Structure 1
């Protein structure tokens, strides 16, 4: 039986700005009083906005969206529902306006070699990767690598990396927990559907996630079986903190670092 996270946030189709604000406030588990204090407005005014008795200004819509910590995509939806034009562009990564961003991503990825690194979009689809990523994707079924190649599906699918991940239960638990947090934050039904799919994938190791890691462990490692020996990685995630474009705001770079000296030697091609 599936235990997928179902999005409790707003569905913008046909909804008024008041409807969306109320649903997002409830999704963030805030009362009207909580949000009014946080936003420094009266509870009466917030109530009027939510019920449609008051039309919020463009500035008020953006202010409330900021207080609710909404992603840029959802802020645009609020603006549209309130009758205003969206202010955050959404351009494809391969377009001219995003060339500097694209170059920066490529610089980070290539600069991380000989260790694996990849860039993913909001839905964990791979938009770029360095040559060292082949260490992790070698042997992955071709249908999983075809566009749009999804990093989480590649990691956890039996035809993907899963059979070569030595600590699959632990790594699976880590990835699903990250995805669950994103579903809860964005209330995105496509992410929820991805979670629903991935949690149903088989895992031969029944040990509960977290029980593999010794007490005092610093990070959750990825332990990967390689012909030259087991590789151990930890990862970092980089995002664009000042993004004003939806595509850029949803972009993330995940870089894998060697967690032990043996992994360094194997990936650098050092002998002995």
Structure 2
């Protein structure tokens, strides 16, 4: 940033490119202009070749770090339903998806910076070591310089560390937490922060106190180098702009850790 007013920094990432129709992406560019990193859907849970290319091109134009957002092959469930998959299947599927996005990044003249699994795959790999290792193997095979994004202390980040890959701890601003530090299931009332002020307060609590009020009572510890907001949330672009302003007012530069 180069501005001495910013004594600290935080990455702000968004799950992007989750449309299926490139003609319906009007708000996506505005959203990307408010963040420092993008996790781009790779065609399994959402997105397609045209959407991936357009999203990567916008990231290149705006200086946003490009990351792969591989998911389970479940577009009808938006990749948020757990599936019975083997480690071998996950490794092949993730290798395929990262490779596809890397091709678009290369065509746009930008580097692929990180990998963040999507939805159910993110949570499954955070708990199950064999799936975490499958994702890490796929990422490392594509590029050993890729960072793995996931929850602090998760099997996903532990596997990445053991394999010699960089890790980025992630916190969520628009999702409620349980007291054990896990995300509240979407089936629970209040699991998604629809109120902008509530989500911003949680973001500030994560970066300043490393803890948030848990949905089931008490406090949850949340360590994060990057904050995630979801691009499919209504009004995501205006919320991202407000969140960025709030962080900057507290002295945080919003920039990618890559």
**Normalised by the size of structure 2, how large is the TM-score?**
0.27
Higher RCO, Cα 8 Å, sep 6+: 2
TM-score scaled to structure 1, two decimals?
A: 0.26
Larger Rg: 1
Write 1 or 2 for the structure with the bigger share of strand: 2
